Amino acid sequence: MTTYVLVHGAWHSGQSWARVVPRLASSGSRVLTPTLTGYGETRHLLGPEVGLDTHVQDVAGLLVDEDLSEVVLVGHSYSGLVISSVANRVPDRIARLVYLDAMVPVHGETAADVMPITTALIDAALASGSGWRVPPMPEAPPPMGLFGVTDPADLAWLRTMVSDQSVLCLQQPVQLDNPATERIPRTHIHCTVRPEGFEARPVGPVQPNGEPAHVLELPTTHDCMITMPDELADLLRELH
């Protein structure tokens, strides 16, 4: 039985995986979809002190508290940073890291280092009335919509789960200084329909563990767990 831990991206919640969970679970897998502190049903906990380190503790704590091992740890978007630092803390619990249209950092990098366009979000948050709140990205005309979602029913559902995040999430650096982390196999899943300025960082030909790079694609927009849940689940099932 494969254990998947699916970690949502910025502004979302664990509910964003609702269409993927039954598809993975139908093959006997265990699937956990934690909501990170300050998002979704925990949005009342959001404050300027909530940052990347908070979310790393959320996920690392889950793996330890549930005594999980051989985990396929999936991070969407911003949570590429989260799963990287989680692997640094508890590498022996993780069988594979999956960067799902995600930020892929090296040691010491912040979100702004990985994706420079994030700097505009940081500056806007610091100059805002709160001084720290980062609202969700604005909705755009099709084909981009809201995080790539354009179907009216899907949009209505997505709007119920998105909420602000703290600027500290984008400012704190990733910790990747544990040599054991380099032994964990990695898979990169890229969504090929992207707005300008959000290009994926190129993946080198060799993983840190010496294996050839493993890069897959989905012909859809950023929130592929909503727009192509069947296809995403199929790719994840093939990894165990």
The predicted-structure confidence for 33-85, as pLDDT tens digits, reads as follows 999 999 999 999 999 999 999 999 999 999 999 999 999 999 999 999 999 99
Task: Give the pTM.
Answer: 0.97
136 in Cβ contact with 112 (< 8 Å): no
Q: Name the nearest CA neighbour of 68 among 55, 57, 59, 78.
A: 59
SS3 category, 125:
helix
For strands 71-76 and 30-32, give the pairing: unpaired
Q: Find the range with the poorest average confidence among 27-36, 150-159, 195-204.
A: 195-204
For the record, the structure tokens of 3 come out as 């254990």
Whole-number pLDDT of residue 66: 97
Q: What is the DSSP code string of 186-198? A: EEEEEES---TT-
Instruction: Give me the pLDDT at residue 196, please.
Output: 74
User: Over 70: is that where the pLDDT of 113 sits?
Assistant: yes
- Share the mean pLDDT of the chain: 96
Q: What is the pLDDT of residue 188?
A: 98
pLDDT over 80 (residue 197): no
Q: Which of 13, 16, 29, 77 is catalytic?
A: 77
- Tell me, what's the pLDDT at 1? 87
pLDDT of residue 105: 97
- How would residue 240 be classed by pLDDT, with cut points 50, 70 and 90? low
Helix (H, G, I), strand (E, B) or coil at 88: helix
Do the Cβ atoms of 10 and 165 come closer than 8 Å?
yes
Task: Show the domains of the chain with their CATH numbers.
Answer: 3-237 (3.40.50.1820)
* 27 belongs to the catalytic site: no
pLDDT in tens, 117-171: 899 999 999 999 999 999 998 898 887 899 999 999 999 999 999 999 999 999 9
Q: Between the CA of residue 44 and those of 40, 73, 149, what are the distances in Å?
A: 9, 26, 26
Residues 6+ apart with CB under 8 A from 217: 189, 190, 191, 192
